[in-house]
Amino acid sequence: MVRAGVKAESFQAASEELARRRDLTIGPKAIERLVQRIGQERIDQRHAAVEAHRNLPPIARDDVADPTRPSPAVAMVSVDGGRLQVRSSSSHTDVKPSSHWRESKTAVLETYLGQIHATDPDPDGPRCLLDLKRTATMVRGLGHALPAGLDFEGEADNASPAATTPRRRGQARGRRPGRPQRLARSVLASRARSEDFGPIMHQAAWARNFFAAQRRVFLGDGAAANWTIHRHHFSSFVPVLDFVHALSYIFAAAFAGRSQSEGEAIYRRWIQAVWCGGVRIVLQELEARSSELGQPPEHSGESDPRRLVAEALSYLRNNADRMHYDAYRRDGLPIMTSAVESAIKMINRRVKGSEKFWSQRGAEAILQSRADFLSETDIMRKFWTTRNATASGFRPYRQSA
């Protein structure tokens, strides 16, 4: 019942799924109550684990490697935000539906096998980033504004020779050279504030002995809250700005106030420079371009070229120390937040919708449960085994292989 209630798109769909596949007649409300109850039990366990971790002596708690436990070659922590609709506790009935949207946070902890290279294993960059139509669609999908009138119709079908360079020998289709091999994922999700979510992330990483990993990386976009968590809880991890978010600012600034042909040449040069760790070169050109265009007026539109260039300059300047992508690839580290963004999409399939509203308690329970079922570290199997043993008082039989 819990699995169906968490994985189906709604409790009604879960009820129908149980009836069709298991021949069980269980109403959606019963499933909802059970999901909330089990979710709350997992939340209580999470709180207890964080509190027990906080009460450890500093020598055993803060960024300490435990040599007695296995540790990964590469440990990655990534965090990003999501949204869902939560009913207000107010009794007023004139609250607009849009006001119900609330922020949530998701973190992914992944282990990798990543080889260390003497030189950059992929100095040329992904060819797909040179498909301007596809890249523009991706940038708009991130919610980033682009210059008005930008139109790349037909670009995906008529890509330039640079975008269709033959694959290098030994390069697998769809796999970037030198990309580390992912092993196991665990997911965290909550409506907790950043100052409370950081300790949850730290305890989860400590439990998986991430601080003993040979190489450690923390990935995020440019949000200040992400780097506050890094500074307070993961300062020994290499900080890496998501490459795609950097690309979105570079793409918009390259075309700002330019013709498409001129902007394309600038974009290709800039994105290659940043891919190879040359963000300082791009910063110099952005500074000159900003001086040429002038500062944006206070109430300028989001597509104003002056605003796009100024925002890109500020964003890259603030994150330049987290953009040594050539060095990260040599060390076998991931450079994109695709793992946490994928997890958010999978969580959103269950919790997000124009007609989906959650109570305060129900929202936290479904986020916790959905994250648990997306994890690949046997969290729920261990939970049920322990719960059954505690409830019955007998040691459960181990399942046969």
Specify whether 300 is located in the same domain as 156: yes
172 pLDDT higher than 70: no
On whether both 190 and 323 belong to a single domain, the answer is no
Q: How confident is the model at residue 149 (pLDDT cuts 50, 70, 90)?
A: confident
Could you tell me if 105 and 212 lie in one domain? yes
Provide the domain limits for residue 256: 127-162+243-330
Average pLDDT over the chain, rounded to an integer? 89
Cα 133 from Cα 84, distance rounded (Å): 30
186 and 266 in one domain?
no
Let me know whether 316 and 348 are in one domain. no
Token pair of 177 as six digits: 């050279």
pLDDT at 339: 95
Q: Does residue 166 have a pLDDT over 50?
A: no
Q: What is the pLDDT of residue 176?
A: 78
Q: What mean pLDDT comes out for the span 332-353?
A: 95
Least confident of 15-29, 57-71, 303-317, 320-334: 57-71
Looking at the fold, whether 261 and 363 belong to one and the same domain comes out as no
Average pLDDT estimate for 330-354: 95
Query: Would residue 168 count as lying in a domain?
Result: no
149 with 293, same domain? Answer: yes
Segment 253-262 mean pLDDT? 95
| CA 200-201-207 angle, 5° bins | 90
Has residue 93 got a pLDDT over 70? Answer: no
CA distances from 45 to 62, 191, 378 (A): 21, 16, 15
- DSSP letter for 168, please: P
Q: Which residues pair with 74 in a beta bridge?
A: 112, 215
Residues 321 and 350 in one domain: no
Total domains present in the chain: 2
Same domain, 110 and 182: yes
Q: Give 337's contacts (C-beta < 8 A, 6+ positions apart).
A: 78, 80, 219, 220, 221, 242, 244, 245
Q: Looking at the structure, do residues 135 and 223 belong to the same domain, yes or no?
A: no
Q: Of 297, 330, 363, which residue is a domain's last?
A: 330
Residues 214 and 278 in one domain: no
pLDDT of residue 8: 95
Whether 260 maps to a domain, the answer reads yes
Tell me which of 163 and 200 has the higher pLDDT: 200
How far is residue 332's CA from residue 79's CA, in Å, rounded to a whole number?
A: 20
Asked if 224 and 136 sit in the same domain, the reply is: no
